């Protein structure tokens, strides 16, 4: 396998982007990434685009071809990748495999979603398709209610409190307020979260990531090409993927996303690094309990200690491990197909020292992207050095 680097990144402002359609969002992010890489369109050999549900959200299928067409990149191959909320992470992984395996030298991996063109209820039904339709959604389950079940069990098993979950939202909003591309530009308090309307008890409105429009893109290159175009490439040291049961109630332990456990372990083995080597991590916080589970499942704290760690501020900006410096899904926004790519963009900016007011000292970063309630998990480890 060849060494692979990210040589260019770009993303749009996340939020309710009424003025732009899906194709315009994708084109903006792609153009920024290509410009950042210092390449031209003719240099790109393939595209992998993470899109969860353009068919149901905007009535557009065949999105891979749309990307190549609208960006003037035909006839190069352009492939749509879908893994629910992990679609972006999987697009990055597929692009990595293509370059590492020698099929291509320069590839663009992108992700996008246009979610606000439909009513909230329709978006919720669409997102529900990432759960087990026949065994969960048909009986009334929604994604907030599934994660509420995880939260309730976590509270029962480990004494996790609603205030500890709220501290995740407070941290991520504080980071988002320092990110000009984030959906939310304001800080919140524990009291704000606790007073917000209940969605699926114990989860409240401010425990939940928002419905978002946005796109992000990265340019990947083989080592020899990367060194030609880029003075400071960011290297992908590991790319790992794992799966679990689609239905939450089929799992051995409702509070553990086993796909995250396995993907994380494989990634660290591949990178030949330890947890102590990571200074910045973009974790999948679709709900506040999800980030608590993530730090436990990846091994940053022991099972059951995620809540107290969040309450102490162990993962705040500038900590030994700064988690979700972008604002995460909660503060930066969650255009589902784009999230996994946005995570990589943020880590690249951190490793290059280009993260502005949210910059932390970092040599190694991690991204953790989850599909659905944990049926898919993808972990990437990036660094400033080839390993």
The residues annotated with a catalytic role in the active site are: 85, 334
The three-state (H, E, C) secondary structure of the chain, written as one string: CCCEEEEEEEECCCECCCCCCHHHHHHHHHHHHHHHHCCCHHHCCEEEEECCCHHHHHCCCCHHHHHHHHCCCCCCCEEEECECECHHHHHHHHHHHHHHCCCCCEEEEEEEECCCCCCHHHHHHHHHCCCCCCCCHHHCCCHHHHHHHHHHHHHHHHCCCHHHHHHHHHHHHHHHCCCCCCCCCCCCCHHHHHHCCEEECCEEHHHECCCCEEEEEEEEEEHHHHHHHCCCCEEEEEEEEEECCCCHHHCCCCCCCHHHHHHHHHHHHHHCCCHHHCCEEECCCCEHHHHHHHHHHCCCCCCCCHHHHHHHCCCCCCCCCEECCCCHHHHHCCCCCCHHHHHHHHHHHHHHCCCHHHCCCCCEEEEEEEECCCCEEEEEEEECCCC
């Amino acid at each position: 396998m060849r060494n692979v680097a990210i040589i260019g990144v770009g993303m749009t402002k996340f939020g309710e982007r009424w003025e732009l359609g899906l194709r315009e969002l994708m084109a903006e992010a792609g153009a920024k990434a290509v410009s950042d890489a210092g390449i031209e369109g003719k240099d790109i050999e393939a595209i992998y685009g993470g899109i969860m549900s353009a068919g149901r959200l905007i009535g557009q299928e065949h999105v891979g071809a749309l990307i190549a067409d609208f960006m003037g990149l035909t006839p190069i191959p352009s492939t749509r990748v879908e893994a629910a909320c992990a679609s972006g992470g999987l697009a990055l992984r597929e692009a990595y495999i293509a370059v590492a395996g020698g099929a291509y030298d320069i590839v663009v991996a992108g992700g996008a979603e246009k979610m606000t063109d439909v009513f909230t209820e329709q978006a919720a039904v669409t997102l529900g398709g990432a759960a087990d339709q026949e065994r969960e959604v048909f009986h009334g389950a929604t994604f907030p209610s599934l994660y509420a079940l995880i939260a309730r069990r976590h509270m029962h098993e480990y004494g996790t409190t609603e205030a500890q979950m709220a501290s995740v939202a407070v941290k991520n909003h504080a980071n988002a307020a320092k990110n000009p591309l984030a959906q939310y530009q304001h800080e919140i308090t524990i009291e704000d979260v606790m007073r917000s309307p209940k969605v699926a008890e114990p989860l409240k409105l401010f425990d939940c990531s928002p419905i978002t429009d946005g796109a992000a893109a990265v340019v990947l290159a083989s080592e020899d090409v990367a060194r030609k175009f880029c003075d400071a490439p960011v290297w992908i040291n590991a790319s790992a993927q794992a799966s679990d049961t689609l239905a939450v109630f089929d799992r051995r332990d409702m509070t553990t996303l086993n796909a995250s456990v396995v993907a994380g372990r494989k990634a660290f083995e591949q990178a030949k690094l330890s947890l102590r080597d990571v200074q910045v991590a973009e974790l999948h916080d679709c709900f506040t309990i999800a980030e608590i589970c993530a730090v436990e499942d990846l091994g940053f704290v022991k099972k059951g200690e995620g809540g107290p760690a969040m309450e102490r501020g162990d993962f705040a900006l500038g900590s030994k491990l700064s988690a979700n410096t972008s604002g995460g899904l909660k503060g930066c926004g969650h255009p589902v197909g784009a999230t996994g790519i946005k995570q990589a963009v943020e880590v690249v900016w951190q490793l290059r020292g280009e993260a502005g007011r949210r910059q932390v000292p970092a040599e190694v970063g991690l991204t953790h992207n989850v599909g659905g309630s944990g049926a898919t998990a993808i972990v990437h480890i990036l660094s400033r050095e080839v390993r």
